[in-house]
A and B are shown apart, each in its own frame.
Chain A
């Protein structure tokens, strides 16, 4: 009786949202509705996948057609043979590694301390980490050049601390790594913070302290291994940003991979496509390695 009543109400209202209200017929409409939901889920998934995969396919396809009517790797060979490629690629990789190490040294203790002792500062720090999304890289690089192109003095004295950073190679490298740290800040901080959310940082810290561990030991042996997956994600994102970055590298005049790729794109057609696709594959390999090395940890964190 009750189910009949419900069916009537549903029919009268003209609503059909897959509620199981009757016997055979209603069961049928319920499964049809479920089928409909599954169809739309797959539809949106495939649409999304195409959005990402089609340009990728087009790039890969284009990069293989350097020679007329022949599918081959000539564009890749020519791109990799260029000595500038290796030089700029290695340079950008070194910059990326330095940026990642410096970011970890700065961000892990900061995120840890905020979680442990200064939760009230979290909103402010989150706001700061979002600034790179709001302030364009061009503003950042002009700010850096303006401040560090003159000697740095101790305030209110004539004592020079160090010469303008933009005037020598190491100085420029320091500036660009600092700039990259700012650009990678939202990704690295959020990855680390999310990683710390999955472990009970406070209790683990107290447990380690009661066992005699110092702050350094706690961070290196307890915190870092437990946020390994998050660190790798942050590192990968930072790596991707640094290797492809153009603005900072161009204005600071460093021989990085981003400006090289940009210049190549202005003069050649197939090689940039080949290098873009190769970079994409490299990223995927890196993601695969992350999965490989952190699979166990994900399981542990889930159980925890």
Chain B
């Protein structure tokens, strides 16, 4: 049996269904991210696990115990908020020790745990400072230490990096992941930032309008999106209308240009309207060795993005982006030039129209 089980959970506010029949099993020590746009129900689901919202229907089990109707202070769940939510009237040490004091733990044990936590987040020198004397990144680390000091069964992170600048965000997410791994704590991370979710998670739950679109490892979610929404939401994607030509061979036609797909045509009939999707980095200029999916194109535009050069090509009547790593010695084609591009058949994703 899984450690945290969210079964058939639905949440309604009035007539609006915010979370619809959500099912997820999370193993102990797993790091799961809820990824989706604003209003997709990811935070509401997290808040139901925390106890701040009660599901309209469905059950939530934690380590075999039903916590669905338990008050937030009766669940052993740690929560980290986007706005840090540190108590302004308490020092770093007092903030971290708050939960232990509430539990009336012995003072010696509180001191020991606070020291341990302050060490874990490398803020030993700031233990007696107030939150307003710390930077945003430091405050969020204190918030993490405060949540972990109680040794919660599950750690819930509600967009904890959104209020930080880009560099701090990257370093802190690595820190959060390292601490989570070292403590072996089960964590749920809510974010709308796909890069964050891809870089930090064991598994990702992609959500849209209250429903789960796909659950999988970052690799699966990025490389094998099962729905058009996931394909579009995670990473950048070229999409085009196409028609199934030969379902058995995986052949589809786009503006008269035939492409071969590794999967996605099974169960479809010849003439079915579909969408094809190709990631920009899966396209490359055709070399003589490559014979599959080689198509003619015209160079439309070239954009230098630093580490990557984005080349816009026109295949038939459709414009595709092609990403290639920057190389100072790379000879880029001229705009308007006729070239050939290629991609593997695994790179061609066939999605419902």
Is there a chain A Cβ closer than 8 Å to B40's Cβ? Answer: no
- Could you list 22 A-B pairs, sorted by A, with CB under 8 Å? A203-B81, A206-B81, A207-B79, A207-B143, A208-B87, A208-B98, A208-B102, A209-B71, A210-B50, A210-B156, A211-B78, A211-B98, A211-B146, A212-B102, A222-B89, A225-B89, A226-B89, A228-B89, A297-B88, A300-B131, A303-B88, A304-B88
Contacts of B99 in A (CB 8 A): 211-213
Selected contact of B88 from candidates A206, A209, A300, CB within 8 Å: A300
User: Is B81 a contact partner of A222 (Cβ separation < 8 A)?
Assistant: no
User: Is A300 a contact partner of B89 (Cβ separation < 8 A)?
Assistant: yes
Not counting A203-B85, A211-B99, A226-B88, a sample of 4 additional A-B residue pairs whose C-beta atoms are within 8 angstroms of each other reads A206-B85, A209-B71, A210-B147, A303-B131
Nearest-CB residue, chain A, relative to B72: A209
CB under 8 Å from chain B, chain A span 197-211: 199-200, 203-204, 206-211
Specify the main secondary structure of chain B where it touches its partner: mixed
Q: Mark B84-104, 1 if CB is under 8 A from A, else 0.
A: 011111000000001100110
Is there a chain B Cβ closer than 8 Å to A266's Cβ? Answer: no
User: Is A210 a contact partner of B72 (Cβ separation < 8 A)?
Assistant: yes
A-B pair number, CB within 8 angstroms: 83
Selected contact of B77 from candidates A203, A210, A304, CB within 8 Å: A210
Chain A positions within 8 Å of B, measured between CB atoms, are 199-200, 203-204, 206-214, 217, 221-222, 225-226, 228, 297, 299-304
Known: A208-B98, A299-B132, A304-B132. A213 touches B73 (CB 8 A): yes
Known: A203-B81, A217-B102. A209 touches B73 (CB 8 A): yes
CB distance from A290 to the nearest CB of B (A): 16
Q: Mark B144-188, 1 if CB is under 8 A from A, else 0.
A: 001100100000100000000000000000000000000000000
Contacts of A226 in B (CB 8 A): 87-89
Could you tell me the distance between the alpha carbons of A225 and B87 in the complex, rounded to whole angstroms?
A: 10
Contacts of A217 in B (CB 8 A): 102
Contacts of B133 in A (CB 8 A): 303
Is there a chain A Cβ closer than 8 Å to B130's Cβ? Answer: yes
Could you tell me the distance between the alpha carbons of A225 and B89 in the complex, rounded to whole angstroms?
A: 6
User: Is B52 a contact partner of A206 (Cβ separation < 8 A)?
Assistant: yes
Could you tell me the distance between the alpha carbons of A225 and B91 in the complex, rounded to whole angstroms?
A: 13
Selected contact of A210 from candidates B78, B88, B131, CB within 8 Å: B78
CB distance from A186 to the nearest CB of B (A): 27
